[in-house]
Structure 1
Amino acid sequence: MERRIDFWRERQMLCGRCDHRWRVDLDWIEWWDQVKETCPGCGMTCEHEDSPRVTIDSGDPALDDDRVAQFSWYHTSTQPDWPTRHFDPAASLTAETRRRMGGEQRVSAWAARQRAKALHAGTYEAAVHNMLRRMRDQADRRSQFSLYRVRLKPSVVVGEGWLVDPSDFVGDVMLDEVCPPGVDVARYLNYHEDPGGLSLALGREAIASVQRIAVPLPGTWDGDWVRDAVAALEGVSGTAVPATGTPARSMRLPSARAVLSRELGASLAGGLPVNLRAQFASAAAFTEGEDPEQWARRTSGLFDLIDDPARVLAALDRQDPREV
């Protein structure tokens, strides 16, 4: 069962001081983060420890325990076989790395901790947001990502209520800390991707099957933006733009083509929700020497993940589920 996908939807805020609750759009949150808005109840700004934060929408259908397993959940990863059937985090460690970690006993203990981490799945919006964040913040801009649609087992036991995002500073959650014996799935308020949405921390055993596609899907060649972007890029030089000042000797000047691609990407980003624009622009960055058509189709495909999710879901529909 699919829920309505809406990257632009309003969010609920909750003040930690006066308990005032109200709805805002993403532009309001942008102003809030710049200390240009205050809590309507008590006037507090974002600078205070107990200042208002995004919270769960009381109308979120995933708050209904009986419906959690009926919904489709999503995950993005650079792993082509997530969740890996026989996950061995130590498999790629070299002999030298194992020695530096303190020997096989410590390597085994480390691997056990890695296997004890919870898996994550969330809304479609959260999965796309996570991919764009990784492209910008974790040097994954040129990595091949996969989008997974996750089906849960109908018999899963869902933890009562929901948790504030339990992830540590690197995004990890230990499964046994959020899913005690008898609980298969824990819901949590996601602050980082699709803020205010419900995501899941779960074990592999809670997943019945997944469907996978490589993303982004390439933009269609007959699309106006792709065709016009390619024509514009092929019409400018790939040589460096003359400097207007005195650049540092180690600074490599961008080509006219790279400068134009930034402008084209920025024009697309302007049509996205404000909280995704910077991440999209980073993910869509042009690499010197890149083929203009390849860049334009990839950039258009990134945009369509947000602007045209129906096309993405249709591609997932064509994939056979893989039992986990």
Structure 2
Amino acid sequence: MERWIDFSRDRRMLCGACGHQWRSDLDWIDRWEQGGEKCPGCGLTCEHEDAPRVTVDPDEPALDDDWVVTVSWYHTSTQPDWPRRDFDPAAVLTAETRMRMGGDERVAAWAARQRAKALHIGTYEAAVHNMLRRIRDQADRGSQFYLFRVHLRPSVVVREGWLVDPSDFVGDVVLDEVCPPGVGVARYLDYHEDPGGLSLALGREAIAGVQQVPVPLPDAWDADWVREAALALEAASDAPVPAAGKPARFVRPASPRVVLGRELAAALAGRLPVNLRDQFTSTAAFAEGDGPVRWARRTSALLDLIGNPTGVLSALGKAEQRQV
């Protein structure tokens, strides 16, 4: 079962100071984050510790335990075989790295901690947010990503209620801390990806199977935009142009081609909801050495992930389900 996908939907807000709740569109939230709006109840601005934040909508269907295990959930990863049942985080460590970590006993303890971490799945929107964030913040720009549609086991036990995002500063959650014995799935309010939505922390045993497609889809681009963008980029010089005045040390001047590519990406980002624009612009930024056609196709296909989710869902529907 699929839920309605809407990157632009309104969010439910809750003020920690006065308890006032209301619905806001993303533009209001963006202005509020810039200090341009106040809580309608008490006038608190975003600088305060108890300032308003997104919260779970009382009409959120994922509050229904039965619905949680029947609806499709999503995840993006650079691992084509996610989630690995025989996951061994120490398998890729070299002998030198093992020695630096303190030897086999320390490595074994570290690997056990890695395996104890919960997996994360969420809405389609959260999965796309996650991919854009990783490309921008975690040097994954050149990595191949995969979108997974996750099917839960019908018998899995869902923890009662929901938690405020339990992730630590690097996004990790210890499974035993959120899923006590007998519980396989915990709902939590996601602050970072698809803010205001409910995501799930769970163990591998809660997953029945997954379907996957590479993203962006290899042929999901706007042919007219790609042709025009590629022609414009090929006509622009790729020779760096020194900036006027005293040049910054260690900064290579940008070429007209790079500048144009970044302008094209920013123009596409302007079509998106305000909370995705910065991420998309950074993710799609043209870099020295990028091929104009390849860049234009990838950038247009990235936009299609957000603007045309039905195409992605159709591709997922044709993908074989892999048992976990």
Q: Same fold (TM over 0.5)?
A: yes
Q: Distance in 2 between matches of 1:194 and 1:276?
A: 10
The 3-state SS of whatever aligns with 1:54 is strand
User: What residue number does 1:40 align with?
Assistant: 40
- 1:186 correspondence with 2:189: no
Q: Distance in 2 between matches of 1:222 and 1:144?
A: 20
The 5 Å alignment of 1:1-324 reads: 1-218=1-218, 220=220, 223-248=223-248, 250-324=250-324
Deviations 1:228-278 (A, max 9, x none): 111211221221235333313532111111111111111100000111111
Deviations 1:209-243 (A, max 9, x none): 00111111135566221111112112212212353
Q: Distance in 2 between matches of 1:27 and 1:67?
A: 30
The 3-state SS of whatever aligns with 1:120 is strand
Whether the 8 Å CA contact 2:221–2:300 is kept in 1: the answer is: no
Q: Distance in 2 between matches of 1:307 and 1:205?
A: 33
Deviations 1:168-217 (A, max 9, x none): 00000000000001111000000000000000000000000001111111
Q: Distance in 2 between matches of 1:171 and 1:69?
A: 24
Q: Distance in 1 between matches of 2:220 and 2:305?
A: 13
Q: Distance in 2 between matches of 1:229 and 1:196?
A: 35
Q: Cα–Cα, structure 1 residues 221 and 67, in superposed 2: closer, same or farther, change >3 Å?
A: closer
Q: Distance in 1 between matches of 2:256 and 2:219?
A: 23
The amino acid across from 2:298 in the alignment is R
Whether the 8 Å CA contact 2:229–2:264 is kept in 1: the answer is: yes
Deviations 1:254-307 (A, max 9, x none): 111111111111110000011111110111011212211100000001101111
The 3-state SS of whatever aligns with 1:226 is helix
State the identity as a percent: 72
The 3-state SS of whatever aligns with 2:148 is strand
The 3-state SS of whatever aligns with 2:105 is helix
Q: Distance in 2 between matches of 1:221 and 1:135?
A: 19
The amino acid across from 1:251 in the alignment is V
The 3-state SS of whatever aligns with 1:85 is coil
The amino acid across from 1:83 in the alignment is P
Taking structure 1 as the reference length, the TM-score comes to: 0.97
Whether the 8 Å CA contact 1:219–1:296 is kept in 2: the answer is: no
The 3-state SS of whatever aligns with 1:195 is coil
The amino acid across from 1:187 in the alignment is R
Q: Distance in 1 between matches of 2:106 and 2:26?
A: 46
Q: Which moved more, 1:211-220 or 1:200-209?
A: 211-220
Large movers: runs of 4+ above 3 Å: 218-222
Q: Distance in 2 between matches of 1:14 and 1:303?
A: 31
Shift of 1:94: 1.4
The amino acid across from 2:109 in the alignment is A
Q: Distance in 2 between matches of 1:211 and 1:125?
A: 17
Structure 2 unaligned runs (5+)?
A: none
Q: How many residues align?
A: 324
Taking structure 2 as the reference length, the TM-score comes to: 0.97
The amino acid across from 1:302 in the alignment is L
Q: Distance in 2 between matches of 1:267 and 1:148?
A: 29
The amino acid across from 1:112 in the alignment is A
Q: Distance in 1 between matches of 2:172 and 2:301?
A: 29
Q: Cα–Cα, structure 1 residues 121 and 249, in superposed 2: closer, same or farther, change >3 Å?
A: closer
Whether the 8 Å CA contact 2:32–2:45 is kept in 1: the answer is: yes
Q: Distance in 2 between matches of 1:250 and 1:199?
A: 42
